[in-house]
Amino acid sequence: MQAYLETIADWSSANEPWRPISRPVLVAWLIFYAAFLLYAFQMHGAFLFIDLANLVVHEGGHLLFGWFGPTLMIWGGTLLQWAVPFLMAAYFFTARQTTAFAFCSFFFFENWLYTATYMADARAMVLPLVTAGDSDFIEHDWHTIFTSLGVLQYDTTIAGIIRTLGWLGMLATVGWLVWQGFLNHKKRDAVELRLSRS
């Protein structure tokens, strides 16, 4: 098992060091994330400006997964919407690009807020809907999904859990970035100290 895990770590570059971050770059990114988190918090679950991009990817997911039948077509919007930032984060993880990995991970979890808003509307169905297909046939994804799963009455509860996980994921990503910056500067200080003593 140990050898198997080491093979995976080697394949995924998990044993490689992360690219260093300068202090000004780290501070700039932290200001960006703090501003975005404050903005998202103040919107109280409403549509965020980044959700325009999420919406395009979501609708593309319906078209893409529609090739595999009606069930996957309904799920496809959310699947692609979550898969795009996740796969980009996975790529930057293997490339060990610290800030790019953090950015993609952050917006992977931000997508959970968007999804939670849509989930919470499953019974009420008051959100304006968009479709990439026939405008005479607009279906509320999460009303259909929750109905098929027999959990429609729990739409707001499930949405609350997804929203909470999204917030925790965004905060954890920012915490990870701060930690990487701390480790980077600690290594740099240790090298400078070693050089000054030699």
Residue 10 has pLDDT above 70, yes or no: no
Cα 179 from Cα 74, distance rounded (Å): 39
84-111 confidence digits (pLDDT tens):
999 999 999 999 999 999 999 999 999 9
> Which stretch of 10-24, 52-66, 150-164, 184-198 has the lowest confidence by average pLDDT?
184-198
Model's pTM, two decimal places? Answer: 0.86
Averaged pLDDT of the chain: 89
- Read off the pLDDT of each residue in 13-33 and give the average, rounded to a whole number: 91
Dihedral angle of Cα 127, 130, 134, 136, to the nearest 10 degrees: 30
Q: What is the largest CA-CA distance in the chain?
A: 76
Q: How confident is the model at residue 129 (pLDDT cuts 50, 70, 90)?
A: confident
Q: What is the pLDDT of residues 130-184, one digit of tens each?
A: 776 566 667 899 999 999 999 999 999 999 999 999 999 999 999 999 999 998 8
Measured distance CA(168)–CA(175) in Å, rounded: 10
User: Taking 70 as the threshold, does the pLDDT of residue 189 lie above it?
Assistant: no
Q: Classify residue 103 as exposed, middle or buried by CB count within 10 Å of its CB (0-12, 13-18, 19+).
A: buried
The type of residue at 8 is I
Q: What is the pLDDT of residue 25?
A: 94
Residues 6+ apart with CB under 8 A from 74: 62, 139, 141, 144, 145
Task: Report, in angstroms and rounded to the nearest whole number, the Rg of the chain calculated over CA atoms.
Answer: 21
